[in-house]
């Protein structure tokens, strides 16, 4: 009988505990979650378009990895009962709630559609931006859930950056970082792939 009442009490308190957990999210944490949800979509949509246009990897492999990354961020949205920006656009390819990301998508698609090499360079640039954004968001968050998910995404983006740089190298093109400092770039390329989301 005591066990029954204990279970009933836990179930009764669960919504309140979840509400308290959500309340502990700062406005900056909420913005980080929603922003990264759409930034991962930007990568997925761009790589899908480039794969259709150029028909080469790593676009083909990484587009599926980016969907997984979107799903990872979705777990945070569900856990903290946030409004999913992708639901607002019905996940329409190339459509974003965030104006900054909408503009960035237009820029990368325009550049990456000019040639296959330009597409590969654009893929590397997208991963540079993703890594820097994840670093900045993690540095400003104390939330363990956010840091765990974003750390996973960063390791994956480092692998993706490696994949694009390798593909360019095979085609006789040396890629130099556009947004990232050379030291961080060299450290990423100098290390082994980070144990997740490998792409060739």
Query: 20 in a domain, yes or no?
Result: no
Residues spanned by the domain of 143: 26-190
Residues 27-54 as b or e (16 or more Cβ within 10 Å = b): eebbebbbbbbbbbbbbbbbbbbbbeeb
Written as six digits, the tokens of 102 are: 């909408």
What average pLDDT values come out for the chain (200 residues) when binned by 10 residues? 41 42 81 98 98 96 96 97 97 97 98 97 98 97 97 97 97 96 94 48
Q: Are 159 and 200 in contact (CB under 8 A)?
A: no
pTM, 2 dp: 0.84
In a domain, 11, yes or no: no
Residue 13 lies in a domain: no
| Inside any domain, residue 35 | yes
Tell me how far apart the alpha carbons of residues 71 and 67 are, in angstroms, rounded to a whole number.
6
Question: Is residue 15 assigned to a domain?
Answer: no
| 152 within domain boundaries | yes
In a domain, 5, yes or no: no
Determine the Cα–Cα distance for residues 53 and 102; give it in Å rounded to an integer: 20
**What pLDDT is stored for residue 37 in this prediction?**
98
Indicate if the alpha-carbon torsion angle 77, 83, 87, 89 is positive or negative.
Answer: negative
- What pLDDT score does 190 carry? 87
Whichever domain contains 94, its CATH number is 1.20.1260.10
Residue 154 lies in a domain: yes
Whole-number Cα distances in Å, 145 to 78, 97, 138, 139: 12, 24, 11, 14
The count of structural domains within the chain is: 1
């Amino acid at each position: 009988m005591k066990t029954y009442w204990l279970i009933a009490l836990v179930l009764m308190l669960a919504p309140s505990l979840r509400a308290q957990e959500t309340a502990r999210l700062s406005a900056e944490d909420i913005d980080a979650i929603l922003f990264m949800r759409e930034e991962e979509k930007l990568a997925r949509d761009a790589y899908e378009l480039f794969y259709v246009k150029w028909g080469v990897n790593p676009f083909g492999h990484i587009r599926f990895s980016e969907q997984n990354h979107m799903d990872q961020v979705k777990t945070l949205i569900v856990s903290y009962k946030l409004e999913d920006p992708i639901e607002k656009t019905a996940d329409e390819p190339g459509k974003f709630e965030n104006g900054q990301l909408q503009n960035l998508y237009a820029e990368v698609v325009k550049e990456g559609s000019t040639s296959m090499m330009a597409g590969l360079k654009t893929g590397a640039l997208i991963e540079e931006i993703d890594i820097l954004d994840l670093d900045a968001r993690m540095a400003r968050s104390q939330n363990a859930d956010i840091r765990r998910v974003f750390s996973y995404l960063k390791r994956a983006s480092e692998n993706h950056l490696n994949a694009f740089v390798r593909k360019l190298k095979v085609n006789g093109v040396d890629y130099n970082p556009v947004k990232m400092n050379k030291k961080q770039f060299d450290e990423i390329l100098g290390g082994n792939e980070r144990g997740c989301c490998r792409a060739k």
